[in-house]
Amino acid sequence: MSSPSIPTAVSVPPPPPAPHGPEAPPLQDDVTRLLPISTASRASVRILIVDDERTLRESCATLLRSQGYTVAVSGRGDEALQTLKSSPFDIVLIDLYMSQVLGLALLRAALDVRPDILVVMMTGKPSIDSSIEVLRAGAWDYLPKPFSATHLQVLVGRAAHTVLVARETRALQGRLEQEHGNSEKVAVLGTSPTFRRAIALARRVAPTDASVFITGESGSGKELIAQFIHHHSRRSSRPLVAINCAALPETLLESEMFGHCKGAFTGAVRDKPGLLEMANGGTLFLDELIEMSKPIQAKLLRVIQDGVVRRVGSETTDAIVNVRFIAATNQVPEDAVKSTALREDLYYRLRVVPIHVPALRERPDDIPLLATHFLAYYWNRHRSGMPALPKLTEAALTALRAHSWPGNVRELQNVIEHAVVLLEPSADVRPEDIPFITGNGQRAAPAAAPGALIGSPTGEKYYASRDRMLAEFDRQYLIRLVQLAGGNMSKAARLAGIDRTTLYRLMERQGMQRDPEGLALTEDT
C-alpha cells in the first residue's frame, strides 16, 4: 500500500515523471527495519522545520515526532534564524521560497551559525538549476513538493544516520588524537600552486557531504584525492569503497554495485549485498564513471536521489543507504554529456564540487619531493632492516625533471620501485639507474646532466658533449611542448614562439613524427 502524501497548501501539480528512468515501486512500509536507528538515538537528533505554510510544517512535525525525533517548527525565516542561534539543531528543513527571508539566504545563515548542520531544502517549484544552486550553497539534500510520508521518513532517517555517524567519527578522532597526536591520515605531497589549490579545495569540501567530481589524467592521483576527502570527512569512521566502472562488464558491475538476490542469474546461489550497502554511512568512489552504461547510470541516480537500493532480481526495496559519492574520470565530462555517454542529470548531481588534479608534467617542482618519498617508502618495503638508504644524485633529479611522465605519478612510483629493487645500500642513484619508459614500452636513455658529461669515462670532447646535450634538450623540449599543446601543432608552434615549418624541421632532426592520433610524439623508426 502506498504511503499518504504530506498535506500541503502549495497549489502546484505533482512533478512530472523523473527523467532518469521508470518509477521505482513503492517503498516497503517497514521503514524502521530498513533504517535501524535506536529510539534513544532518534530522540537525540534535533530537527527544525521552517515553512510559512502551517499545514505542511505541522504535518511534517507530527510525523517526525511519532518517529521519535525531537522537532521544532518555525513559520518565518527571521524567527528561524534566531532559533538556530539560540538552540543547537542537527537537521533543518527549509522551504526555498518563503516570504520575508528567502530559503537560500536562510540556508547560508544556518551554515554560518553551525557549519555541520544538515540542511534539506524543500520546494514546490523543482528544477535542475535550483537543485544545483542549493547543493552548491551547502544543502545536504533537495526535497521536491509534494512528497509522501514515507519519502520524508526515509530522507530524514538518512540525515539522522549521517548525524550519528559524524558523532561516532568525532569521538573516534578524539581518541586517536589523544593516543597518537593530530597527524594527517592521508599524505598528499606537492608544493606546486596548481596541486595545492586542488588540495585546498578538497580540504574545504571534505567536512561536508557534497558530491565531488574529480578530473585528471590516468595516474595523476585522483583516488588519493578521494581518500583525502573521505579521511577528513565526518564519515571517516565508516568505509571508503572504491569501484572501477571500466574494469567490469555491465552485468557484473550492476551486481557488484547493487547486489543481487538468490536465483537472479546463473551462479547467484545466495543473496548478496552490493557495494552501495557496504559503503552505508561512508563514501563510494566511482572511478572512471563515464564508462558506466546508461541503464546503470539511471539506477544509480535513483539511489543518489532517494537512497533506495534494489538488488538485481529483486521486486522490493532491499536497503536504504546513506552514502557520499565521489566520482572520477580521465576524460572531459562535458564532452561525455554532449555525446550522451553520460546522463546530464547524473552529472550535475555528482558534480556539486569539481576538482581537477594536474598532471605531473604540470608540476615539475614536485618531482624531487615525490621521488624521494617513493625511494624511502619502497626501500623500507623491499629492503626491510637495511638502514643504508640510497640517495638521488643531482644528475638523477635533473633526469627525472626532464622526463615527460605520460603515466604521471603512477609512472614515477613504478620507476622508483623498479630502481629500488636493483640498488645497493647507500648507493648514489644516477640517471642510468632509472628505468625510464618511452611511449612504445621500451626503456629510454635518461637525460644526461652536464656534470655527468664533463670528464666522462668515454673521453667525449667539448663539442661532442655539447651537441649531445643540445640534442637531448631539443628532444625533451619537443615532447613536452606538443603534450602541453594537446597534439595541436599550430598551438605548439605559438607556445614555442616559432613557425610550424621550424617546428616540423626540429622534429625531423630528432627522428620524431606526430602520433597518428595527434596527441603525442613518437620516435621515427
Nearest Cα residue to 464 out of 476, 477, 451, 454 = 454
Q: What are the Cα distances from residue 135, in Å, to 139, 201, 228, 295, 353?
A: 5, 16, 21, 25, 9
Q: Per-residue confidence of the chain (525 residues) as pLDDT tens digits?
A: 444 444 433 333 333 333 333 344 444 455 666 777 888 888 999 999 999 899 999 999 999 999 999 999 998 888 888 898 888 899 999 998 887 678 888 999 899 888 889 999 998 888 888 888 888 899 999 899 888 998 899 999 999 998 998 888 877 766 655 554 444 556 678 888 999 999 999 999 999 999 999 999 999 999 999 999 999 998 998 999 999 998 888 889 999 999 999 888 888 888 899 999 999 999 999 999 999 999 999 999 999 988 889 999 988 878 889 999 999 999 999 999 999 999 999 999 999 999 999 999 999 989 999 999 999 888 888 887 677 889 999 988 988 988 889 889 999 998 898 888 888 888 899 888 888 755 444 455 444 444 444 444 455 566 666 666 777 777 777 777 776 776 777 777 777 778 777 788 788 777 776 554 443 444 443
The tally of domains found in the chain comes to: 4
**pLDDT on residue 26:** 43
Please check whether residue 221 lies inside any domain of the structure. yes
Q: What are the Cα distances from residue 357, in Å, to 64, 154, 354, 432?
A: 43, 35, 10, 30
CATH number at residue 486: 1.10.10.60
Please check whether residue 159 lies inside any domain of the structure. yes
Beta-bridge partner residues of 47: 71, 91
Based on the domain organization, do 313 and 214 belong to the same domain? yes
Last-in-domain residue among 331, 358, 385: 358
Last-in-domain residue among 413, 430, 449: 449
CA dist 31 and 520 (Å) reads: 55
Q: What are the Cα distances from residue 315, in Å, to 4, 150, 223, 434?
A: 21, 18, 34, 57
Based on the domain organization, do 213 and 150 belong to the same domain? no
Please check whether residue 290 lies inside any domain of the structure. yes
Last-in-domain residue among 422, 449, 476: 449
Task: Tell me the backbone φ, ψ of residue 46, rounded to 5 degrees.
Answer: -100, 130
Please check whether residue 245 lies inside any domain of the structure. yes
Chain-centroid distance, C-alpha 46: 30
Q: Which structural domain range is residue 382 located in?
A: 361-449
Instruction: Give the pTM.
Output: 0.68
Based on the domain organization, do 243 and 386 belong to the same domain? no
Based on the domain organization, do 322 and 379 belong to the same domain? no
For residue 62, count other CB atoms closer than 10 A to its CB: 12
Please report, in angstroms and rounded to a whole number, the separation of the first and last CA atoms in the chain: 72
Q: At what angle do helices 367-382 and 408-422 cross, to 10 degrees?
A: 40
Cβ neighbourhood burial of 89 (10 Å; 0-12, 13-18, 19+): buried
CA dist 297 and 302 (Å) reads: 9
**pLDDT on residue 81:** 86
Please check whether residue 340 lies inside any domain of the structure. yes
